């Protein structure tokens, strides 16, 4: 293949960062992983050994100083995102960052502002469902008018119950269940409804299983509604206690049809008939569900960098997901519907 | 069969009343249809001819005066329900009435009060899903602990789009989409969650297709949330514009499992593979969906009258459905979440 | 209802006979069960007590002598069918008999011959799938050309594994698994393919679980193929050891579409998500699967008697099912394909 | 990645060869595509341009003479397979070849014989279903005893109807529908049933749509049965005229459970509700269905070459698929069941 490879550096080599790094190293033909960065010695050793990355830095600043690196991929804790995105842009690097931009609206806006000052650099937040083949197929159908005018999006992010309660320790810094999980669903709703203005939100939720969440005021199950202008609506569900698997799904209803994406969460094409009836098993985590989408997401970003083509979602889209997520969390805290101010 | 038949009279011989009358005449072994009542000459003639009902009265008072009639079945306009139920009880008749009791909470409470004064008479409002074999199977599983503690009910009543817009003319007296359609879903939620206290409601909706509804402030699509005490939640959806069929369904999530009832709305056991892919057709209206449940509902009531056994739902259950429905309609009108007062 | 009721008598009050009798007594508006017949004192007492049948005879001859009885329904052992059908016709009674007509082709032909001499009497063998709403819906679609020209029918009769092996003791008189079970599938194939001439058959099978069957040379699982004239084909499967339920199903392939009937064997509209994945339970026996079809079958016969209208399947259809079933059994015995002679 | 890449050459750059070549060039981390071969100038130019393959030969002999090439991948017409496999082995190359080995049993045996003389070289025929994640998952379940002892495999290869009839011109050299399509199903049956001895076969079929096939005696639809020793059975279906898509599927029945693989042929996770009911679209061709399996197949072979580990299927397995396929074609020709001789 004659086309050149984009030289990339991976910041963050934890669970998600390691997956992205491995994909960039071996499964994205348009990318060449030239550097990595992690504060963890163990993670740096893993990257040197497994990825053949020439240079693995302890400091993020070193990664940015690496002249070879054209594009930075960030999969660090959310609290680092805004600062690291801004630093990357100011170092002249294209930047891809895991969702969300930030839990603070001001930080999201600051990222947008810096990006505007670097119009030649690509910057994208990784709302992965936008790259999933099934979500894309549904979106293409909507665009072709297959369901008339869409007016209702029901979307859920529901994780399989993890008896270890591993995630409980991350809850205090997660921003709450809706900011942590439902930003994906908010982005899905905005994508399918056309990026229109949200008017108000209402939410409720409960600790159904993980009592440990009560200490930080978080929940393991919640539902929310968002009303948009023009009679558009979204219903969101977040759960950390599904018995059967990770079942991220969405239902888009329009005036002449309805599309459902991901319902059933089939892990593969096998169906089992036994004493329990007829059943299929389900994708255990978001990673099995979206493995192909993660590849396509990285490829799309790399291609946009190489060919200087537009990205399918903007930093503003990511800001809006945070902004609506914050309103939902506020409704949860006040137990009242919350009006959402127009964005600047 | 040696068991005696309960002598019943049918008040209201319109679309739904005619179906009930035909069922009581021919398909409920425990019932004997001895009289009917309708203000319409045409309907009375139909009943005489088709049902072989000996006596078909123009006035409801005549039906109540018929000494032979032990139990009255009411399928008249909702505005008549409360008055007719009360008159039946005061005439010493058992009474089954189509849902809802009334659109006015005061009337619901008055019905309850009169019924309390006639403890030997059976009185039930026809929330038919309580008798549907699939809903009952799900309820039995929940009762057996199959899903742990249930905490979330998502329930929808979604009619197939009727291009004629026939229902638009009934909208002004319907009480609004949630009072008209979602009372079934409210009752389902209360049934599965254990009849607990509602705390607040929020709703939104739109006129997606039937512009004619705007004249009376009604909608053709809406979603609502109800928060109950103890962290229980309900999400409701009502639609009059589904492209594919009547798809009433419910999803009950508990701490260890989830049950889904009615999703897919299969009209039968046929699957069609052709140029469109692989598909099944859907139940066109609520009647095809609940035909068996309507029979079981009538049978259950007739058996309870004959054997003096308890009914599976109370007038209070029906009152609560109206009360929560009113709160949802109020939220829709005010675009704010609405607190729900404790019932007396 | 003004229409008169057909006075019927039930011969055989065992498991299937009792079901038919109960249906005729209480659930078929057009029928009046006036008499019964069983050699078993216990069954006769049950019928008197539960059905309110005025006259329950020990001898079949007495039932035929009952002048009140217009139509006889036979659900006795298969070995009795031919003789009893013939006796009923010669006594001037209409006759409905459970499938098959007989295990012997000569008896089938004799029944046909006697029936021809009584052209005013209705006689039908109960191939119940012809009355199932899903099979009828599929048939109507085929008749309307929805799949072009049908050329392949795959049909199966597969019972849920019964660990008690109850059926093993009936095996010696059953005619073998294909004559016992697959005659339904043969009839389905002939129905959908247009009653055309069979050319040859091939079969194989095994004792997978019930070793007791080996004593009489029967099997608990088998598959067979039938080739018809004009390039039409049928693939049949019979099983007595399905782990999940009774899953009778059929697949009809035509030049422009394919219809599948009954696959999945859903017991109702409930779906369960739990630690096993997502599943539905299945109909446990043929009776739950075909309960509605049995009612429609009896109704159709009763209506045909009352209104003197044609029946949807002929005695010749039933004879052909036996004839092809015998060829399949012969292939099984010889382990060779068997040519099927043209019928007389 | 430190692990070395296996240097491979691709023989045949037509439709399937081009796909394999592209996969080897860009998507198989363990492989390096160093050379290609095609008699077609156009295909050679494509390979030079798109794959960056340094050397693309007109003659297969040149490819074998390329010292750099460690393993040859063959996707040429079936008539070339045996000769080319043998030449590759004799040139000291590992060899992967698309199915089938040959349409002639003698050639299959000759390939086996040559391979035995080169025990250090890997040789495998590409029965791709053995590498599909769903087939593998099912196989792992069977191996773990999830369905007891498997005794019946129903397997189908059914292509979507191609109105252009493109394939008709290949029919004369295809060996007939069962040798062309059903060898996959035969291999699946043998894999799941444990590679046991076949006893006899029976087949029938028809030209349902493509009249052009009659000229060479081929069919567009057929069904076959194979009886194996020990009461094991296979039912095979081949079709070139499916209306809805390519639906390769298999059903494995055992003494305590049943597994179904691939039924429904869902193209993705989208479900569409519209005026036709509720439907999903289907995989259009075998390539969309097995795209991932083709990658895994190539990876598995490359890894086995690099690490000198055993292959999951043997040349004998491939020979047996041809041998049983030939028996089925013979049954079709003679319209009689055909006994299958024990293999040498």
pLDDT at site B338 = 97
* Stretch A180-202: mean pLDDT: 97
Are B79 and B85 in contact by the 8 Å Cβ rule? The answer is no
Show Cβ contacts of residue D303 under 8 Å, excluding neighbours closer than 6 positions: D30, D309
pLDDT of D95 above 90 = yes
Nearest Cα residue in chain C from B133: C268
Interface check for B206 against chain A (CB to CB < 8 A): the answer is yes
pLDDT band at B3, cuts 50/70/90? Answer: low
- Chain B residues inside the 8 Å CB shell of D282: 273, 277-278
- Chain A residues inside the 8 Å CB shell of C247: 273
pLDDT at site B161 = 95
pLDDT band at B29, cuts 50/70/90? Answer: confident
pLDDT band at C3, cuts 50/70/90? Answer: low
Output the CA–CA distances (angstroms, integers) from residue C229 to D10, D163, D206, in the order listed. 47, 26, 10
pLDDT of A22 above 80 = yes
- Chain A residues inside the 8 Å CB shell of B336: 336-337
pLDDT of B344 above 70 = no
Higher pLDDT, B304 or D164: B304
Interface check for C134 against chain B (CB to CB < 8 A): the answer is yes
Q: What is the pLDDT of residues C22-77, one digit of tens each?
A: 999 988 989 999 999 999 999 999 999 998 767 999 999 999 999 999 999 999 99
Chains near C with 3+ CB pairs less than 8 A apart are A, B, D
pLDDT band at C118, cuts 50/70/90? Answer: very high
How does the average pLDDT of chain A come out, rounded? 95
Count how many Cα atoms sit within 13 Å of the Cα of residue C317 in the half-sphere of its side chain.
24
Higher pLDDT, A165 or C310: C310
Distance CA A273, CA C283 (A): 13
Q: What is the pLDDT of residues D4-47, one digit of tens each?
A: 899 999 999 999 999 999 999 988 989 999 999 999 999 999 99
- Chain B residues inside the 8 Å CB shell of C134: 268-270
Token reading at B198:
């509602």
pLDDT at site D344 = 67
Interface check for A270 against chain D (CB to CB < 8 A): the answer is yes
pLDDT at site D200 = 97
Q: What is the DSSP letter of D276?
A: T
Distance CA D33, CA D22 (A): 9
pLDDT of D296 above 50 = yes
Token reading at C105:
């082709």
pLDDT at site B1 = 37
Nearest Cα residue in chain D from A289: D269
Q: How far is A3 from chain D (nearest CA, A)?
A: 10
Q: What is the pLDDT of residues C238-250, one digit of tens each?
A: 999 999 999 999 9
- Chain C residues inside the 8 Å CB shell of B52: 1-2
* Stretch B235-253: mean pLDDT: 97
pLDDT band at B167, cuts 50/70/90? Answer: confident
pLDDT of D177 above 70 = yes
CB atoms within 10 A of CB B319: 22
Q: Where do the domains of chain B lie, and which CATH numbers do they carry?
A: 6-126 (3.40.50.720), 130-289+321-339 (3.30.360.10)
Count how many Cα atoms sit within 13 Å of the Cα of residue C179 in the half-sphere of its side chain.
26
Q: What is the pLDDT of residues A218-243, one digit of tens each?
A: 999 999 999 999 999 999 999 999 99
Distance CA B127, CA B135 (A): 12
A265: left (phi over 0), alpha (psi -120 to 50) or beta: left
Please give the share of chain B, as a percent, with pLDDT higher than 90: 92
pLDDT band at C344, cuts 50/70/90? Answer: low
Give CB contacts under 8 A, 24+ apart, made by D45-52.
D46/D13, D46/D18, D47/D10, D47/D13, D47/D18, D47/D21, D50/A1, D50/D22, D51/A1, D51/D21, D51/D22, D51/D25, D52/A1, D52/A2, D52/D25
Token reading at B186:
């409210």
Pick from B54-58, C53-57, D173-177, D293-297: least confident: C53-57
pLDDT at site A165 = 82
Q: Are strands D150-160 and D233-242 parallel, antiparallel or unpaired?
A: parallel
Q: What is the ipTM of this complex?
A: 0.95
Output the CA–CA distances (angstroms, integers) from residue A144 to A140, A149, B244, B279, in the order listed. 6, 10, 19, 21
Distance CA B207, CA B191 (A): 30
pLDDT band at C1, cuts 50/70/90? Answer: very low
Are B5 and B31 in contact by the 8 Å Cβ rule? The answer is yes
Q: Token pair 């009604």 is at which residue?
A: B218
CB atoms within 10 A of CB C216: 14
Q: What is the pLDDT of residues A276-296, one digit of tens each?
A: 999 999 999 999 999 999 999
Between C29, C134, C273, which is nearest B257 by CB?
Answer: C273
Interface check for C14 against chain B (CB to CB < 8 A): the answer is no
Distance CA D81, CA A28 (A): 33
Handedness of CA C45, C49, C50, C53 (dihedral sign): positive
Instruction: Identify the bridge partners of residue A279 per DSSP, sorted by sequence position.
Output: A272, C279
pLDDT at site B2 = 41
Distance CA D165, CA D207 (A): 13
* Stretch B81-107: mean pLDDT: 98
- Chain B residues inside the 8 Å CB shell of C24: none
Interface check for A276 against chain C (CB to CB < 8 A): the answer is yes
Token reading at B181:
């359609």
Show Cβ contacts of residue C235 under 8 Å, excluding neighbours closer than 6 positions: C152, C153, C154, C155, C223, C224, C225, D223, D235, D237
pLDDT of B180 above 60 = yes
Cβ within 8 Å, pair C270-B147: no
Q: What is the pLDDT of residues D201-251, one digit of tens each?
A: 999 999 999 999 999 999 999 999 999 999 999 999 999 999 999 999 999
* Stretch B75-99: mean pLDDT: 97
Interface check for D334 against chain C (CB to CB < 8 A): the answer is no
Q: What is the pLDDT of residues C76-117, one digit of tens each?
A: 999 999 999 999 999 999 999 999 999 999 999 999 999 999
Interface check for A230 against chain C (CB to CB < 8 A): the answer is no
pLDDT at site A69 = 97
> 3-state secondary structure string, C110-167?
HHHHHHHCCCCCCEEEECHHHHCHHHHHHHHHHHCCCCCCEEEEEEEEEEECCCCCHH
Angle at A288 between CA A285 and CA A293, to 5 degrees: 120
Interface check for A338 against chain D (CB to CB < 8 A): the answer is no
Please give the model's pTM, rounded to 2 decimal places: 0.96
pLDDT of C173 above 50 = yes
* Stretch B199-207: mean pLDDT: 97
Are A38 and A13 in contact by the 8 Å Cβ rule? The answer is yes
pLDDT band at D3, cuts 50/70/90? Answer: low
Among the listed residues C131, C152, C127, C128, the one whose alpha carbon sits nearest the alpha carbon of residue C259 = C152
How does the average pLDDT of chain B come out, rounded? 95
Output the CA–CA distances (angstroms, integers) from residue B193 to A155, B255, B259, B341, in the order listed. 23, 13, 13, 19
DSSP-based three-state secondary structure for A77: coil
* Stretch B313-326: mean pLDDT: 97
Please give the share of chain A, as a percent, with pLDDT higher than 70: 99
């Amino acid at each position: 293949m004659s086309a050149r490879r984009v030289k990339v550096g991976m910041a963050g080599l934890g669970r998600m960062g390691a997956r992205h790094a491995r994909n960039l190293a071996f499964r994205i033909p348009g990318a060449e992983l030239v550097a990595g960065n992690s504060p963890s010695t163990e993670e740096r050793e893993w990257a040197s050994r497994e990825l053949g990355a020439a240079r693995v830095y302890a400091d993020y600043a070193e990664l940015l100083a690496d002249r070879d690196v054209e594009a930075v991929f960030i999969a660090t804790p959310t609290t680092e995102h805004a600062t690291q995105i801004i630093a990357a842009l100011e170092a002249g690097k294209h930047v891809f960052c895991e969702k969300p931009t930030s839990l603070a609206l001001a930080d999201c806006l600051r990222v947008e502002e810096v990006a505007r000052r670097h119009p030649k650099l690509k910057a994208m937040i990784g709302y992965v469902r936008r790259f999933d083949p099934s979500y894309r197929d549904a979106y293409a159908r909507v665009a072709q008018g297959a369901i008339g005018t869409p007016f209702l999006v029901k979307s859920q992010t529901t994780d399989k119950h993890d008896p270890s309660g591993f995630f409980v320790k991350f809850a205090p810094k997660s921003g709450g269940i809706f900011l942590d999980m439902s930003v994906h669903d908010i982005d899905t709703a905005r994508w399918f409804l056309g990026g229109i203005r949200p008017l108000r939100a209402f939410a409720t939720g409960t600790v159904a299983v993980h009592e440990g969440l009560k200490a930080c005021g978080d929940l393991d199950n919640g539902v929310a509604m968002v009303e948009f202008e023009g009679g558009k609506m979204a219903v969101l569900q977040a759960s950390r206690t599904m018995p059967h698997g990770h079942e991220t799904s969405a239902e888009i209803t329009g005036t002449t049809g309805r599309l459902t994406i991901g319902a059933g969460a089939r892990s593969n094409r096998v169906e089992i008939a036994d004493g329990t009836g007829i059943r299929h098993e389900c994708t255990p985590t978001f990673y099995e569900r979206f493995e192909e989408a993660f590849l396509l997401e990285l490829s799309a970003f790399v291609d946009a960098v190489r060919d200087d083509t537009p990205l399918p979602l903007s930093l503003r889209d990511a800001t809006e997901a945070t902004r609506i997520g914050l309103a939902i969390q506020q409704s949860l805290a006040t137990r009242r519907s919350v009006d959402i101010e127009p964005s600047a």
